Structure 1
Amino acid sequence: MVKAASTAAVLLFAAAAAPAWAQMTPEGLWRNIDDKTGEAKAEIRIRDAGGGVLTGVLEKRLSKDAKPDEVCDECSDDRKGKPLVGLELIRGAKKAEGKDVWEGGKILDPENGRNYTLRMTPIEGGKKLEVRGSIGPFGRTQTWVRVQ
């Protein structure tokens, strides 16, 4: 009886912990916030593109001044002239060995068309995501919020 109770307790704990563990990944839907105004700008969906490589697509624009048919005029690669909604912003990020950090990929800023070296770190139990874009020693970090 005691053994059955302890097994049930372990299974219950594992079931309760699984959703929390599953959230310690950048995969999911995120809302990014404007650094200057504090307003939500967009929702970005991050997915595994295969082999543990993550990709992120701008799913929804939330800015008051967002135009539904706006394209990436500033992009200089294959994304030039493509609609912002549906645009791949994150490419090639992989989980660093032994850490809850994803790096090695690039993130596009569609406002200026530049690609930055990417580092993503889930924080606060996966409720938020620190997203750092950098060129050399210079960069900036945004905190994105998970959309439930």
Structure 2
Amino acid sequence: MRKLRHALLLALPLLGLSLAASAADSAAGRWKTIDDKTGKVKSIVEITPAANGTLSGKVVEILQSDRGPNPVCDKCDGERKNKPVKGMTILWSLKADDASHWSGGTILDPANGKTYKSKLELQPGGQKLDVSGCIMFICRAQTWVRE
């Protein structure tokens, strides 16, 4: 019994390190969005896996906005029209291509109400996420930083 307890005490820190490493290898988590024009941190987006294996991202915090502390998506269409940006899903349906690439999704820019085809690339080390959105051949890219 004593040997088993000793073995468990030694194994617990290794399990913690393993879980931390697997989290760093995934796009799931909280990300600081960096404006591609100003370089300022604008918000925190939390990316989570859905039951069907895709990823989606929701704005959980607004850090900087030209439209006040509680901006709404006034240029959005449909169900998002005039809804608060905080709490809004802005990234959805991203499917894994491999361990560090996701594509086939959609991203919404709440500032202009436009949606773009999206893809993600997790950089080595898991602390930076390249996020791009494209309409036809016109693309925008940002690098988000893990919180």
- 3-state SS of the aligned residue for 2:47? strand
Task: Give the structure-1-normalised TM-score.
Answer: 0.82
Tell me what 1:131 maps to: 131
Q: Are the equivalent residues in 2 in contact too, given 1:20–1:125 (CA < 8 A)? A: no
| Aligned CA-pair RMSD | 2.2
Tell me what 2:113 maps to: 113
Task: Give the structure-2-normalised TM-score.
Answer: 0.83
Q: Distance in 2 between matches of 1:21 and 1:91?
A: 22
Q: Deviations over 1:52-94 (max 9, x none)?
A: 1111111111116452332101111321111011111001111
Tell me what 2:93 maps to: 92
Q: Distance in 1 between matches of 2:29 and 2:102?
A: 14
Tell me what 1:26 maps to: 27
Q: Deviations over 1:84-126 (max 9, x none)?
A: 1111100111111x45211111000011111100101110311
Q: Are the equivalent residues in 2 in contact too, given 1:58–1:87 (CA < 8 A)? A: yes
Q: Are the equivalent residues in 2 in contact too, given 1:105–1:119 (CA < 8 A)? A: yes
Q: Distance in 2 between matches of 1:37 and 1:22?
A: 29
Tell me what 1:6 maps to: none
Q: How many residues align?
A: 138
Unaligned runs of 5+ in 1: 1-10
User: Do the aligned partners of residues 68 and 13 (structure 1) sit closer, same or farther apart at CA in structure 2, a change above 3 Å counting?
Assistant: closer
Following TM superposition, the consecutive aligned residue runs of length 4 or more in structure 1 with deviations greater than 4 angstroms are 11-15
Q: Share of identical aligned residues, percent?
A: 39
Tell me what 1:38 maps to: 39
User: Do the aligned partners of residues 25 and 95 (structure 1) sit closer, same or farther apart at CA in structure 2, a change above 3 Å counting?
Assistant: same
Unaligned runs of 5+ in 2: 1-11
Q: Displacement, 1:15?
A: 6.1
- 3-state SS of the aligned residue for 2:78? coil
Task: Letter of the 2:134 partner, please give it.
Answer: S
